[in-house]
Amino acid sequence: MLTSIEQDGHVLHLRTRESFNLFDIDSVSLIIGPNGSGKSRFLQRTVEQFASRRLPDFGSDCQLVFNYVDQRKPQDWGVVYYTPVQNRIAFRAQKHFVDASQRREQDLLQLYEHREIIESFGLKINLLVKLRADEKKVGDFLALALVEDEKGRYASKRHQPQLRSIRDLKARLERFSDFNGDQRELTYLQNQYKRELSLLSGYVLDDLRTREPAASNVLTALCATFHHMQKQNYDILSYIALIDEHLPSSYFQHIDPGSLQQKKHVGSRRLFRYILERLDNFAFEKGPRGVYQYALTNEQERLHFASDREGPFEMVLPGMSSGQWAIFNQIISLYEAIKRLAAPPAGNRASPREPITKLLVLIDEGDAFLHLAWQRKYIWQMNKFLSECKHTFGLTLLQLIIASHSPLLASDVPGEFVCQLNLEDHAQNKGRAASNDDFIEPDTTSPSFAAPLHAILNRSFGAVTIGEFAVRRINAAIAALKAGTYGPQEKYLISVVDDPIIQRELQRLVPHTEHQSQ
């Protein structure tokens, strides 16, 4: 078992003989300190110490301390590192090391595959399939296409008089002068053009609806197909050809398929059939803004949409926050990394090796992007999750080290397993190796486990519990009150201070004459 790590005059304890382990995994330790104090560097050096070396590294400023059984075998361990932040540190390739941060961000189908893991972490996955098929936008698109088809390539002659009046309005708008034209006339022409175009859009859609068989999804499938075709720059004739094939409209002429780009035409027909088949087989519900959605209820249904990564159907988790997504991505990346080390694929002759049974997990600011309520649960949930991983993969040892800025995480770790770094020590020790005489035991009197947050902030993190803006405003008010000034700003500030002690002390500084006038 790894009992401690010594670096730059600091000791991070993982286990001691005197302490009873409170966690379900073999240890949980915490590194705290401000930005630039060397937390990430501490983890990086730790990873490097597990690298396989034929000769000792005399220049190392990091020392791993194991119990007697593991004293000479650090290379038998596996190490997993993870951070959600973008400015990641770089690691050299090592045989038994996985940088889980390098995994690409999880997609929703992968989340569904790891549903049991995610739900054991206290999260729920309720996947929806969404399809965009906005009839109003498609109608407007077709109406504008008809108006712009002045050469009659596809617009039906039957509706030419109706189209001609809209084209006249459009021509008048294009000739209108912004310098000497009447603004009221311009507003009238714009409103009239929009109104006529909107009416034409409605007529086109009504005409398509009357030609659709009862209880059919053809129009919805056409609209969804058109939405997807717009992303790929299809010619307008491809749209009209699909309408002509499935819902022949009096507004459009017959399109000869031989005049189309055959590859794209075949692709659009295939896409339409693909969408229509799924609309017929799944009870999609129409939502606002032309969005249809269906709630996936089982694994078999998911497989119907598994291949649609770049297609018209989109997997969504309704109401998912950035914090939830950060947790989803983190636990799956960690799970896959642990699996890779603890359960290597069978029959790999290229690099055969025995499964890892001892594992050290390093998480650098894993609580980043999480709401305070999620930070409060982070240690508990990570302990539970890694305990299940230890059982699943038959690990004999699993130890966790977390680097964090969060006082909420510090309140969940006993003080003897918290290592506090600071900017001064990092600046002094940067660029030199530490000798054994340099090591300083951490100040275990700093509050951590189950301590009030204000005590942890003040003594462990060296921070005050009030925002800087509020502190400066209160100090300015104190100076003004001591100088005998008590104006509207000071009066308002005192009224909005929510700390009763600070408010009472400010009231004591109010000039005596002001107390009497109140």
Over residues 43-73, the pLDDT tens digits come to 999 998 887 665 455 556 788 888 855 555 6
Range 2-105+323-460 has CATH code 3.40.1350: no
Number of helical (H) and strand (E) elements in the chain, helices listed first? 19, 13
pLDDT on residue 56: 53
Model confidence band, residue 458 (pLDDT cutoffs 50, 70, 90) = low
Please report, to the nearest 10 degrees, the dihedral formed by the alpha carbons of residues 100, 102, 106, 109 taken in order. -90
Count Cβ atoms within 10 A of the Cβ of residue 455 and give its class: 0-12 exposed, 13-18 middle, 19 or more buried. middle
Q: Is pLDDT larger for residue 195 or for residue 453?
A: 195
Question: What's residue 52's pLDDT?
Answer: 63
Q: Which residue has the higher pLDDT, 448 or 263?
A: 263
| Rounded Cα gap, residues 426 and 432, in angstroms | 10
State mean pLDDT over 10-22.
86
Residue 115: pLDDT above 70? yes
465 vs 471, higher pLDDT: 471
pLDDT one-digit tens code per residue, 232-288: 888 899 999 999 999 999 999 998 877 788 888 888 999 999 999 999 999 999 988
Q: How far is CA 275 from CA 203, 226, 269, 289, 338, in A?
A: 25, 11, 10, 19, 39
Helices 183-210 and 218-230 sit at what angle, rounded to 10 degrees? 130
* pLDDT surpassing 90 at residue 147: yes
CA 117 from chain centre, in angstroms, equals 18
Q: Name the one residue in this structure whose structure tokens are 């997609």.
A: 107
Amino acid making up residue 331 = I
At residue 505, the pLDDT reads 86
Where residue 367 falls among pLDDT bands split at 50, 70, 90? Answer: confident
3-state SS class at 113: helix
Number of residues assigned to the chain: 518
Asked if the model's pLDDT at residue 160 lies above 90, the reply is no
Indicate the residue type of 99.
D
Note the pLDDT tens digit of each residue in 170-200.
998 888 766 666 788 888 999 999 999 999 9
Residue 262: predicted pLDDT: 84
- CA 415 to CA 365: how far, in whole Å? 19
Please measure the distance between the N-terminal and C-terminal CA atoms of the chain and give it in whole angstroms: 69
The predicted model gives 136-149 an average pLDDT of 95
Mean pLDDT of the chain: 82
Report the C-alpha gap between 259 and 198 in whole angstroms: 30
Judged against a pLDDT cut of 60, whether residue 31 lies above it is answered with yes
pTM here is 0.67
Percent of the chain with pLDDT over 70: 82
The pLDDT of residue 426 is above 70: no
**What's residue 124's pLDDT?**
77
Q: How far apart are CA 461 and CA 207, in angstroms?
A: 70
What value does the mean pLDDT take over residues 206-216? 91
Exposed, middle or buried, 469 (CB in 10 Å: 0-12/13-18/19+)?
exposed
- Reply yes or no on whether the pLDDT at 10 is more than 80: yes
Identify residue 21 by its one-letter amino acid code.
N
Tell the burial category of 2 from Cβ atoms under 10 Å away from its Cβ (0-12, 13-18, 19+).
buried
The domain spans of the chain are 2-105+323-460, 131-316, 468-517
pLDDT per residue over 148-158, tens digit each?
A: 999 888 999 88
- 233 contact partners, CB below 8 Å, separation of at least 6: none
Per-residue model confidence (pLDDT) at position 311: 78
Task: Please state the φ and ψ torsions of residue 228, each to the nearest 5 degrees.
Answer: -75, -35
What's the pLDDT at 440?
38
Quote the pLDDT of residue 434: 39
Distance of CA 386 to the CA centre of its chain: 22
* CA 14 to mean position of chain CA atoms: 31
pLDDT of residue 363: 95
What's the rounded Cα separation, in Å, for the pair 300 and 124?
19
